[in-house]
Structure formats: C-alpha cells, structure tokens
C-alpha cells in the first residue's frame, strides 16, 4: 500500500494532481479511520498506464474512457490525425528557425513573404542590417539572406564585364526619344548602369541629364565614357537610390528608366517618380510583360519566382492610367535588344562555369537565358512612353 505522498513521488506527480485524478474518478483511494488515503499496487499500475495514455496526447477524460472500456478506435484515429497535424506544424516551425540560422535555404520563404507583404518584407530586411541597395538586390536576385553575400559576389563577377545589364538597343532608345515632343530640357535617368542609354540620350538631345544608379563600379565606367565623349558638363552621374531620390519636386521634364522600374515595383515607381516630373513631363520606361494570357508552365513558373508582379500589356497600361499618366506610345523591344543582352551574358557564363560550377547566381542566370530561348515569344520587354 502507498500513501498519497509516496505514490506521488513514484509517479513524478504532485499530491494535488493525485487528488484531482481521484476527483475525476481515475483513482480510488482507501480512506483510513485517521483520514489518510492509501493506494494499492493495482492503483499504482493503473496510474502508470494512465500516464502512458496521456503521453499519446489523450485528454484525462479520453484516458478514463480507454481505461474503463474497450479502446475507441474512432477516438484514437481522430487524436492521431490531430497529432500528425501538430507535428507537421512543429516541423515547419523548426525548418524556418533552422533556415533563419543559416542551416538551409530561405529562397521560397522570402519569395512567399515578398509576394504577400512586399513593403513589410523590405523594411524587415533593412532591420536585419541590409542596406537599401542590398535589400533590393536580395528581393529580386538572390532571394535568400543566408546566401546573399556569395550570390552577389558571383553575380557581380558575371555582370561586371558586360555593357548591357538588361535588354536594350540604340534603335529602341532613339525610337522612344523621338516621341518626346517638345524635347526635354532636363532629364533624369534612373538605373543608368554603365550608361549605354545615357550617352545616346546625350548625343541625340540637348537636355541636361542627371544619371543615377546605386552601383559605384557602373558609375565609374559611365564617368569614363562621359569624359571621353566630352559630356561631363551636360551629364551628371550620381550614386543614388531610385526609392529615395535626392531632388526637389517637379525638377525634370522627363524621367527615363530602361529595365529597372521592377526593382521597386511598377506601381510604386509610377507614383513616386511622377512627383519629380514637371506638369506635362514624360516618363519613359521598359517593363517585362506577358504577350499571352496562357504562358507555358515552365515560363510562368520561372517568372513567377523572378518577377511575380509581371503583367500583360493591357494591365500595365491600366496601372499607368490609374497613376495619372497618358499613354503616348508603346512598343516591344527588338530581337536585337535581347541579343545585345543575352549573347555576351552567355559567353560570360560559359567562361566562368569552370571556376564556379555550383554557383546559384550562374545557374539562375543560365535558366533565364534558357527560358528566353524556349519561350521568348510569350513575353517581351515593352517600352512605354507616358505623359503626366
């Protein structure tokens, strides 16, 4: 026989717990004349069995039912399904915590968060210590803060030697420029890169041009071109963020952006950049668009990861009109624009594969080229000329 304190110690429970079990009819103590409770060996073993059933996730009432009658299979099956669900949730939570600690990739997580809450995601990345420039690159390129540093090192190693960092051609740039009548006296180019469009705009206009980018090495290359062409007095190269422009409102007759509006999001770019245009000013930008409402699954899945906000032309025009712009004209960039970008890029990848065989940046870039080669008829870079 066991006193309540002895049984509690054997079971690893408190005296209060045993009294509660007794109140629920799970145990039945023998009361002595002095009021003490005594429990038999059978009570001890029943308590042990009760604890084992509790370890299976059963409630006390469910344990009592299993102790006093034949097992209820439906009850056990329902409890098992609930436990499986809880385990799956715990495994998901563990995977996320491990990924945040750098034990595995966060690419899918970042993409999902950015699609559902882009502004909160961007702010959170900056709170983690990333600069705005790094956060934007993480958002659209590496997609994983754990591998971001290496990814960007590889990415810049590939792109550093290239002139075009997006599809473009002199013919397309000049075609759009000819639509700006009267010609602008002041022009801001956003995301100028190494300045291919910048020098064309300077050669074929009389505008005072401010060209911005957040990549210092690209601006250095542009500055060298400006000096060689004698444009340093009329063209200013400036390291600045497209999301925090250091200019007064209504400063420019035109804003030019080839292949970079997606970085901050088309809708946000349309609204924010408009504040820097004079009344009647022009916005010229190129945007990746769908040419079909039923893209191939491979192309759809790739761009859903790379640019989830990608729209068709009609949807883009609607967004532009809702932001307060009038459409002057729009056209798809030429095949030459794509070749100017992808041909040197492919050569660069081929040259770097031996030294970076497992680079995620190289694999992603190669996949983009492959998607274009197979499904290029389903999407385009569209040049839009807008006026506010």
pLDDT digits (tens), the chain, 388 positions: 899 999 999 999 999 999 999 999 899 889 888 888 999 999 999 999 999 988 888 888 888 888 888 888 888 888 889 889 999 999 989 988 888 888 888 888 888 888 888 889 888 888 888 877 788 778 777 788 888 899 999 998 998 889 898 999 999 999 999 999 999 999 999 999 999 999 999 999 999 999 999 889 999 999 999 999 999 999 999 999 999 999 999 999 999 999 999 988 899 999 999 999 999 999 999 999 999 999 999 999 999 888 888 999 999 999 999 999 999 999 999 999 999 999 999 999 999 999 999 999 999 999 999 999 999 999 999 999 999 9
Q: What is the DSSP string of 311-325?
A: EEHHHHHHHHHHTT-
Q: Quick one: how far is CA 192 from the chain centroid?
A: 23
pLDDT of residue 168: 95
pLDDT of residue 381: 96
Q: For 273, phi and psi rounded to 5 degrees?
A: -65, -30
Other Cβ atoms less than 10 A from the Cβ of 98: the count is 11
Q: How far apart are CA 342 and CA 335, in angstroms?
A: 11
Other Cβ atoms less than 10 A from the Cβ of 54: the count is 13
Sheet holding 2-3, edge to edge: 2-3, 37-39, 30-31
pLDDT of residue 310: 94
Q: How far apart are CA 347 and CA 353, in angstroms?
A: 10
Q: How far apart are CA 213 and CA 192, in angstroms?
A: 6
CA atoms within 13 A on the CB side of 345: 24
pLDDT of residue 269: 96
Q: Which residues of 162-188 are buried (b: 16+ CB within 10 A; e: fewer)?
A: eebbbbbbbebbebbbeebeeebeebb
pLDDT of residue 50: 92
User: HEC profile for 44-73?
Assistant: HHHHHHHHHHHHCCCCHHHHHHHHHCCCCH
Coil vs helix vs strand at 32: coil
CB 281 within 8 A of CB 247: no
pTM score of the predicted model: 0.75
Q: How far apart are CA 241 and CA 183, in angstroms?
A: 26
Q: For 285, phi and psi rounded to 5 degrees?
A: -150, 155
Residues 6+ apart with CB under 8 A from 208: 185, 186, 187, 234, 235
Counting runs of H as helices and runs of E as strands, what totals does the chain give? Answer: 17, 11
Q: How far apart are CA 262 and CA 270, in angstroms?
A: 10
CA atoms within 13 A on the CB side of 218: 25
Q: How far apart are CA 96 and CA 118, in angstroms?
A: 19
* Dihedral (Cα; 261, 267, 268, 272), 10-degree rounding: 90
**Closest to 280 (Cα-Cα) out of 360, 184, 361, 165:** 184
């Amino acid at each position: 026989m066991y006193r309540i304190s002895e049984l509690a110690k054997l079971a690893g429970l408190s005296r209060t717990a045993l009294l509660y079990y007794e109140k629920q009819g799970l145990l039945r103590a023998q009361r002595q004349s002095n009021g003490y409770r005594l429990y038999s060996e059978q009570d001890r073993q029943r308590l042990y069995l009760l604890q084992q059933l509790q370890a299976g996730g059963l409630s006390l009432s469910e344990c009592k039912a299993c102790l006093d009658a034949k097992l209820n299979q439906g009850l056990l099956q329902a409890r098992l399904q609930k436990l499986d669900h809880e385990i799956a949730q715990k495994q998901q939570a563990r995977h996320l915590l491990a990924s945040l600690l750098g034990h595995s990739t966060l690419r899918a997580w970042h993409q999902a968060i950015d699609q559902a809450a882009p502004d909160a995601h961007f702010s959170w990345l900056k709170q983690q210590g990333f600069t705005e420039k790094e956060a934007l690159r993480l958002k659209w390129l590496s997609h994983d803060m754990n591998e971001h540093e290496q990814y960007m090192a590889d990415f810049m190693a590939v792109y550093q030697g290239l002139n075009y960092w997006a599809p473009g051609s002199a013919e397309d740039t000049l075609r759009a420029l000819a639509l700006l009548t009267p010609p602008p006296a002041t022009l801001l180019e956003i995301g100028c890169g190494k300045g291919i469009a910048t020098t064309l705009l300077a050669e074929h206009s009389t505008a005072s041009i401010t060209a911005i980018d957040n990549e210092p090495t690209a601006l250095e290359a542009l500055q060298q071109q400006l000096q060689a062409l004698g444009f340093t007095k009329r063209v200013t190269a400036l390291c600045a963020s497209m999301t925090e422009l250091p200019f007064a409102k209504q400063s420019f007759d035109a804003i030019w952006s080839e292949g970079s509006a997606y970085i901050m999001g088309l809708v946000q770019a349309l609204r924010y950049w408009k504040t820097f245009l004079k009344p009647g000013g022009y916005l010229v930008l190129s945007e990746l668009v769908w040419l079909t409402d039923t893209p191939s699954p491979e192309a759809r899945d790739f761009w859903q990861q790379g640019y989830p906000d990608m729209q068709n032309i009609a949807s883009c025009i609607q967004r532009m009109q809702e932001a307060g712009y009038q459409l002057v004209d729009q056209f798809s960039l030429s095949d030459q624009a794509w070749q100017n970008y992808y041909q040197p890029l492919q050569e660069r990848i081929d040259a770097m594969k031996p030294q970076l065989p497992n680079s995620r940046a190289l694999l992603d870039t190669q996949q983009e080229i492959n998607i274009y080669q197979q499904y290029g008829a389903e999407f385009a870079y569209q040049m839009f000329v807008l006026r506010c």
